[in-house]
């Protein structure tokens, strides 16, 4: 039973198109993330949601819009795709970290979505 | 966020113990040290986490000296399946009103196990 699942696993599309990547976690976690891993294997955080509320929004183009319908889902919609968007996108989740506590953020990652923009 | 420095790559033979060291000179008092493993075409996977001294689980050991400015991930008797990229991360990893702490992955160490 997959803990963090992303769909699709592969996505090939033309420049200018709009696409979405879905992510679901069945771990009961309150926090979810989107990361981008480029061809050089650098893994960079893009967004984070806690209980459906956006809490981290890194400097990414506003063509990228995360949507969290509930705390088990965090989808990523990308408008007007560009060549530079080609990468592997990872979804992750982590348990609730209590305010003021010595939080230990352990994240659980999905298998990734390989996006190729042609 | 504390910056980390790791070797870019390492090679080892099967059956040996592998030690990967990570430097984090500006680690803060409340920071934890966490290691992740990433296989090709997969997402990172949590291996081990510690604050000080030594932590051991079924997969690895983590050694942290008293000054906490470095840490060493130890993989006992590696096999070919341990070939992966290993990331060292430092931070509270706490998402709260105190500040949006987030995990920052460095370049990682590409470990190759040789038959």
pLDDT in tens, B21-72: 999 998 888 888 889 999 988 999 999 999 889 999 999 999 999 999 999 9
Residue of A50, A104, A107 with shortest CB distance to B32: A104
Distance CA A86, CA A106 (A): 27
Query: What's the pLDDT at B101?
Result: 54
- Residue B80 sits at φ, ψ, to 5 deg, of -55, -30
Whether B44 and A101 lie within 8 Å, measured CB to CB: no
Tokens of B45: 């996977």
Distance CA A42, CA A8 (A): 21
Beta-bridge partner residues of A10: A114
Q: How far is A15 from chain B (nearest CA, A)?
A: 24
Tokens of A29: 């976690």
Q: How far is B47 from chain A (nearest CA, A)?
A: 10
Query: What's the pLDDT at B85?
Result: 96
Query: What's the pLDDT at B1?
Result: 53
Residue of B49, B85, B100 with shortest CB distance to A55: B100
Q: Taking 60 as the threshold, does the pLDDT of residue B99 lie above it?
A: no
Does residue B4 form part of some domain? no
Number of domains, chain B? 1
Query: What's the pLDDT at A115?
Result: 97
- DSSP-derived 3-state class of residue B82: helix
Complete edge-to-edge strand list for the sheet that includes strand B18-23: B18-23, B70-75, B61-64, B53-56
Task: Report the pLDDT averaged over residues B91-105.
Answer: 55
Task: Report the pLDDT averaged over residues B6-10.
Answer: 95
Contact A75, A20 (CB under 8 A): yes
Whether B102 and A56 lie within 8 Å, measured CB to CB: yes
Contact A107, A39 (CB under 8 A): no
Whether B102 and A48 lie within 8 Å, measured CB to CB: yes
Which residue segments constitute the domains of chain A, with CATH numbers given? 4-96+105-113 (2.60.40.10)
Q: Is B52 on the interface with A (CB under 8 A)?
A: no
Q: Is A26 left (phi over 0), alpha (psi -120 to 50) or beta?
A: alpha
Q: What percent of chain B has pLDDT over 90?
A: 67
Strand B9-13 relative to strand B109-114, pairing: parallel
- CATH code at B93? 2.60.40.10
Query: What's the pLDDT at A91?
Result: 95
Query: What's the pLDDT at A38?
Result: 87
Which residues of chain A are within 8 Å of residue B93 when distances are taken between CB atoms? 94, 97, 103-106
Does residue B3 form part of some domain? no
Q: Would you say how long chain A is, in residues?
A: 118
Whether A106 and B91 lie within 8 Å, measured CB to CB: no
- A contact test, residue of B103, B106, B110 with most A CBs within 10 A: B103
Strand A19-25 relative to strand A4-7, pairing: antiparallel
Contact B6, B106 (CB under 8 A): yes
- Taking chain A (118 residues) in runs of 10, the rounded mean pLDDT of each run is 90 97 94 88 84 78 92 95 96 72 73 96
Task: Report the pLDDT averaged over residues B99-109.
Answer: 69
Does residue B29 form part of some domain? yes
Whether A44 and B92 lie within 8 Å, measured CB to CB: no
Q: Where are the beta strands (DSSP E) in A1-118?
A: 4-7, 10-13, 19-25, 31-37, 43-50, 53-57, 64-70, 73-78, 87-94, 108-109, 113-117
Distance CA B93, CA A3 (A): 20
């Amino acid at each position: 039973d997959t803990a963090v699942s992303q769909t699709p696993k592969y996505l090939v599309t033309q420049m200018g198109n709009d696409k979405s990547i879905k992510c679901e976690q069945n771990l009961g976690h309150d926090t979810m993330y989107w990361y981008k891993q480029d061809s050089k294997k650098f893994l960079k955080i893009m967004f984070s949601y806690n209980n459906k509320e956006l809490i981290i929004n890194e400097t990414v183009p506003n063509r990228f819009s995360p949507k969290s319908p509930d705390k088990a889902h965090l989808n990523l919609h990308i408008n007007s795709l560009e060549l530079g968007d080609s990468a592997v996108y990872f979804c992750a989740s982590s348990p609730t970290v209590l305010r003021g506590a010595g939080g230990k953020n352990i994240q659980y990652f999905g298998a990734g979505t390989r996006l190729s923009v042609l | 966020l504390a910056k980390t420095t790791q070797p870019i790559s390492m090679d080892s033979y099967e059956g040996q113990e592998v030690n990967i060291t990570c430097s984090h000179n500006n680690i803060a008092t409340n920071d934890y040290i966490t290691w992740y493993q990433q296989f090709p075409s997969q997402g990172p996977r949590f291996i081990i986490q510690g604050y000080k001294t030594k932590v051991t689980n079924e997969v690895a050991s983590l050694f942290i000296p008293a000054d906490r400015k470095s840490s060493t991930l130890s993989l006992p008797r590696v096999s070919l399946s341990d070939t992966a990229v290993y990331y060292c991360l430092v931070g509270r990893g706490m998402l709260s009103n105190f500040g949006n702490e987030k995990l920052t992955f460095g370049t990682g160490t590409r470990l190759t196990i040789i038959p």
